[in-house]
């Protein structure tokens, strides 16, 4: 007998070219009068923030822009600075009705943390873990500008904690956006390297969600759909960032992978990525991309072969109808990584051997591991991280031409 389940997602999600135009009327309909815009200086420079500002002005909504987020990863300091920006002695200076995040996962996670602190008080570290918020957050509108983390559609906040050299996870259905807006026209300014490093996180998240312990037929459909869209569009969007059809499909891939893991959970790609990213400050997606083949190989004995058959089918790989599907899917992922120029080793992501034991311990504490399909001991985790670091001597093995379709 399968256990009962439920799904969380933002209730209104605008997608597609030109959908940013819905922002004004949706905010007016809710009676919003004053916004805090949370973003970064690069998006201001690119004119994307100005597009949002113009819509708010046309809708008679006043706003303040906080553009102090440091890329590529948000940390506790970003949240504190953003909160300080709008408060004095922990009292909010002005009456903000809502928060608008403009950007990718970094800016969304910082914005939802600020929105949570405005109503719940205290500091973000107090809400680490599952369901720790006591009050609804300030309404949050997520304007997404690249395909990757899917943070705009999730209830999972991740911010770096420099003091512990890790990334802190705060997960709560209260952290869902009120409205999401995912307009591919805003994605075209993402540089090639951001398109790749954010994009590969889609594959990592979709695969982890598909094999996660809390996966259901609903999340499986989202995860497989995301894998298919990713494989069919990543080359086009990397080759030509102005390809709006490819950007559109990648936007859906990102949102679908985000929704899949939001409800199915993740696994040790993410528990380890949170440790390496928390100390090396390298891009989360890139680290996840490096880790995906290693972790999937570790998990493979605990994953039904049918799951590999289905992933191979979604990736357009032929002949993967039996047990051979494990190797075919792993090879295909390695080939995609190689094609996108994603490093093969965690060492190239700034991981240091002297930190492996600490990373392994912290990874096992990360709640993203609760749904990993294969139980990992501390020894397993140490070995897994070391394997992903010492790739030079271990993975120069024969590969099948997985992407020749
Ligand atoms: Fe991720």
For position 73, what pLDDT does the model report? Answer: 72
Point out the residues of the chain with pLDDT beneath 70.
1, 71-72, 88-94, 391-405
**Cα of 25 from ligand 1 centre, angstroms:** 32
CA–CA distance, 248 with 182 (Å, rounded to integer): 9
Report how far residue 295's alpha carbon sits from residue 291's, in angstroms, rounded to the nearest whole number: 6
- 3 state SS of 329: helix
For ligand 1, the distance from its centroid to the CA atom of residue 353, given in whole angstroms, is: 23
Compute the distance from residue 61 Cα to the ligand 1 centre, in Å.
33
Rounded to the nearest whole angstrom, what is the distance from the C-alpha of residue 34 to the centroid of ligand 1?
32
The rounded Å distance from CA 274 to ligand 1 centre is: 9
Q: How many CB atoms lie within 10 A of CB 160?
A: 26
Per CATH, 12-186 and 192-394 having the same topology is answered no
Torsion region of 212: left, alpha or beta (phi above 0 gives left; psi -120 to 50 gives alpha): beta
Q: Coil, helix or strand for 12?
A: strand
Whether 13 contacts 142, CB under 8 Å: no
CA-CA-CA-CA torsion sign (367, 203, 110, 29): negative
Cα(89) to centroid of ligand 1, in Å? 35
> Is 38 in contact with 78 (CB distance < 8 Å)?
no
State the distance from the centre of ligand 1 to the C-alpha of 150, rounded, in angstroms. 8
Distance CA 267, CA 321 (A): 25
CA–centroid distance, residue 197 to ligand 1 (Å): 10
CA 203 – ligand 1 centroid, Å: 9
DSSP H helices in 61-191: 76-85, 105-120
So what's the pLDDT on residue 88? 62
Q: How many whole angstroms from 198 Cα to the centroid of ligand 1?
A: 8
Distance 149 CA to ligand 1 centre (A): 5
CA 289 to ligand 1 centroid distance, Å? 9
> Token digits for 117?
């602190």
Residue 42 CA to residue 44 CA, distance in Å, equals: 5
Rounded CA gap, 119 and 335, in Å? 46
- Give the residue carrying structure tokens 């504490």: 365
Ligand 1 center to 62 CA (angstroms): 33
Q: 85 CA distance to ligand 1 centroid (A)?
A: 28
CATH number of 12-186: 3.40.50.1970
For residue 166, the SS3 value is strand
Supply the CATH classification number for the domain 192-394.
Answer: 1.20.1090.10
Residues lining ion ligand 1 (Cβ < 5 A) are: 201, 205, 288
User: Residue 265 Cα, ligand 1 centroid: separation in angstroms?
Assistant: 11
Question: How much distance in Å is there from the Cα of 45 to the middle of ligand 1?
Answer: 26
Hey, where are the domains in the chain?
12-186, 192-394
How far, in Å, is the centroid of ligand 1 from the Cα of 118? 26
CB atoms inside a 10 Å sphere around CB 95 = 7
CA distances from 48 to 151, 184, 304 (A): 19, 12, 45
d(CA 204, ligand 1 centre) in Å? 7
Query: Ligand 1 mean position to 315 CA, how many Å?
Result: 19
Closest-CA residue to 229 (of 105, 288, 316): 316
366 neighbors 267 (Cβ within 8 angstroms): no
Report how far ligand 1's centroid is from the alpha carbon of 31 (Å): 34
Instruction: Report whether 182 contacts 251 (CB < 8 A).
Output: yes
* 229, HSE (Cβ side, Cα atoms, 13 Å): 24
Q: What is the pLDDT of residue 82?
A: 80
Question: How far, in Å, is the centroid of ligand 1 from the Cα of 202?
Answer: 7
Q: How far apart are CA 223 and CA 389, in angstroms?
A: 28
CA of 321 to the centre of ligand 1 (A): 29
């Amino acid at each position: 007998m399968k256990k009962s389940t439920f799904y969380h997602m933002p209730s209104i999600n605008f997608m597609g070219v030109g959908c940013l135009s819905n922002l004004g009327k949706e905010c007016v309909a809710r009676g919003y009068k004053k916004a805090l815009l949370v973003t970064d200086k690069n998006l201001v420079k690119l004119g994307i923030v100005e597009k949002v500002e113009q819509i708010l002005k046309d809708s008679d909504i006043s706003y303040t822009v906080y553009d102090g987020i440091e890329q590529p990863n948000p940390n506790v300091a970003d949240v504190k600075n953003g909160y300080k920006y709008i408060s004095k002695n922990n009292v909010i200076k002005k009456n903000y009705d809502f928060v608008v995040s403009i950007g990718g996962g970094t800016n969304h996670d910082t914005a939802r943390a600020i929105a949570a602190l405005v109503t719940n008080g205290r500091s973000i570290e107090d809400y680490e873990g599952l369901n720790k918020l006591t009050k609804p957050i300030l309404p949050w509108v997520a304007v997404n500008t690249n395909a990757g983390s899917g943070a705009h559609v999730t209830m999972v906040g991740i911010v770096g904690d420099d003091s512990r050299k890790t990334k802190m996870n705060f997960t709560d259905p209260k952290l869902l956006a009120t409205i999401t807006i995912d307009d591919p026209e805003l994605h075209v300014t993402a540089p090639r390297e951001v398109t790749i490093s954010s994009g590969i996180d889609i594959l990592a998240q979709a695969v982890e969600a598909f094999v996660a312990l809390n996966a259901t037929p609903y999340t499986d459909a989202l995860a497989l759909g995301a894998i298919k869209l990713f494989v069919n569009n990543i080359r086009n969007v990397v080759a030509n960032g102005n390809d709006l059809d490819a950007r559109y499909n990648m936007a859906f891939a990102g949102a679908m992978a985000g929704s899949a893991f939001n409800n199915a959970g993740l696994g040790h790609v993410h528990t380890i990525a949170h440790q390496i990213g928390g100390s090396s400050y390298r891009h989360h997606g890139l680290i996840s991309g490096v880790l995906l083949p290693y972790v999937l190989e570790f998990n493979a004995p605990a994953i039904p072969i049918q799951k590999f058959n289905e992933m191979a089918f979604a990736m357009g790989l032929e002949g993967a109808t039996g047990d051979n599907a494990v190797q075919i899917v792993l090879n295909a992922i390695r080939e995609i990584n190689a094609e996108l120029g994603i490093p093969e080793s965690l060492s190239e992501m700034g991981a240091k051997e002297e930190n492996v034991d600490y990373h392994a311990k912290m990874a096992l504490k990360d709640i993203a591991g609760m749904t990993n399909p294969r139980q990992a001991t501390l020894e397993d985790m140490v070995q897994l991280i070391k394997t992903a670091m010492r790739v030079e001597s271990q993975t120069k093995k024969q590969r099948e031409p997985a992407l020749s379709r």
